[in-house]
Amino acid sequence: MDLRKHGRYDYSPIVERADYYWPDDKRLAFYIGLNVEHFSFGEGLGHTPTNPGTQPDVRNFSWRDYGLRVGIWRVLELLDELGLPACHLMNTSIYDYAPQIPARIRDRGDEFIGHGVTNSEQQGDYSEGEERALIGNATDNFKKHEGEGPGGWMGPWISESAYTPDLLKEAGYKFIMDWSCDDQPVWMQTRAGRLMMIPYHIEINDSPAQLNRRYTATDFTEMVTAHFDEQMRQSQKQPLVFSLALHTFVVGQPYRLAGLRDILGHIVNHPDADRIWFTRPGAIFDHVSALPAGTVPGDDL
């Protein structure tokens, strides 16, 4: 069998890379990625904590809607309490459905990440022209409301076609978060130039962990804190990125929010918290893109 290759980046073992530091000599870059998703009623894709019902699946639609009506506000209260920044992977249909949400994100000074129009569709299902239109629709909506497009993109359902990185670069995006292949940013190749990959950890994503693999909230707390503690140890040798991927309708449920409170308390109160850079993906991009040539894998693309 001839193995197919994606051609986006070359193999680079992390132990052979150049060392560098985050701002103020920090060693672990920590960011929170909160997925803010909206769904079509009675059709299309949708997360579910139970078996899918006959459409219109009121039980599962309303469970997801809880995340926008209640869950996100409780999560933001917790982040405010701890003084933590975040980025928000937001479907642009939120602008029409729940404009108070982007207004609150804006007030916090947080970062918007492109996440399509709705999570009832995934861009990998479309032709190149249709996908270009989807990306353009979402980007134009951000520009209309925020004055500029987001620098980064995470596909709905982390879905990509063979053309996605090319289309994103051509649409003006600087980084992508779909490729969970590393603990450091790396440059990827597109037909229009290089595009940065910023790590987004799948293993400690609340949705697949608690909905698909059926881990409990207590399990998830143990997983995330163990992941964090180990990355803190590893970051003594190399700068790393720790991302915490969350969904409003998952972690926004009160018993899971209690677990998130424990997770974040563990992190901000860590004995070596002065080595942590509490940041957002856009700032990671800015820092990495300014490093000397030869520091980051793929920077010769």
For residue 188, the one-letter residue type is M
Is residue 142 within 8 A of residue 167, CB to CB? The reply is: no
Lowest mean pLDDT among 51-60, 186-195, 196-205, 220-229: 51-60
Q: How far apart are CA 108 and CA 244, in angstroms?
A: 18
For residue 41, the one-letter residue type is F
Phi, psi of 250 (to 5 degrees): -100, -70
Q: How far apart are CA 126 and CA 134, in angstroms?
A: 9
Is residue 199 within 8 A of residue 241, CB to CB? The reply is: yes
At residue 162, the pLDDT reads 96
For residue 197, the one-letter residue type is M
Distances (CA, A) of 258 to 118, 218, 251, 269: 28, 10, 9, 16
Cα–Cα–Cα angle for 219, 265, 71, rounded to 5 degrees: 70
At residue 51, the pLDDT reads 84
| Of residues 6 and 50, more confidently modeled | 6
At residue 47, the pLDDT reads 87
At residue 49, the pLDDT reads 83
Q: In the chain, what are the domain boundaries?
A: 18-43+52-289
Task: Give the mean model confidence (pLDDT) for residues 120-137.
Answer: 97
- pLDDT band at residue 300 under the 50/70/90 scheme: confident
Say what percent of the chain tops pLDDT 70.
Answer: 100
Considering only the top CATH level, what class is 18-43+52-289? alpha beta
Residue 196 pLDDT more than 80? yes
The SS3 call for residue 36 is: strand
Residue range 235-279, pLDDT digits in tens: 999 999 999 999 999 999 999 999 999 999 999 999 999 999 999
On average, the pLDDT of the chain sits at 96
Q: How far apart are CA 152 and CA 7, in angstroms?
A: 21
Residue range 205-220, pLDDT digits in tens: 999 999 989 999 999 9
The DSSP output letter for 161 is -
Is residue 281 within 8 A of residue 31, CB to CB? The reply is: yes
For residue 46, the one-letter residue type is G
The SS3 call for residue 159 is: coil
DSSP letter string over 243-272? EEEEEHHHHTSHHHHHHHHHHHHHHHT-TT
Q: How far apart are CA 188 and CA 299, in angstroms?
A: 9
Residue range 130-173, pLDDT digits in tens: 999 999 999 999 999 999 999 999 999 999 999 999 999 999 99
Residue range 32-71, pLDDT digits in tens: 999 999 999 999 999 888 888 899 999 999 999 999 999 9
Q: Which of 151, 90, 87 is nearest to 117 (CA)?
A: 90
Residue 301 pLDDT more than 80? no
Q: How far apart are CA 165 and CA 178, in angstroms?
A: 10
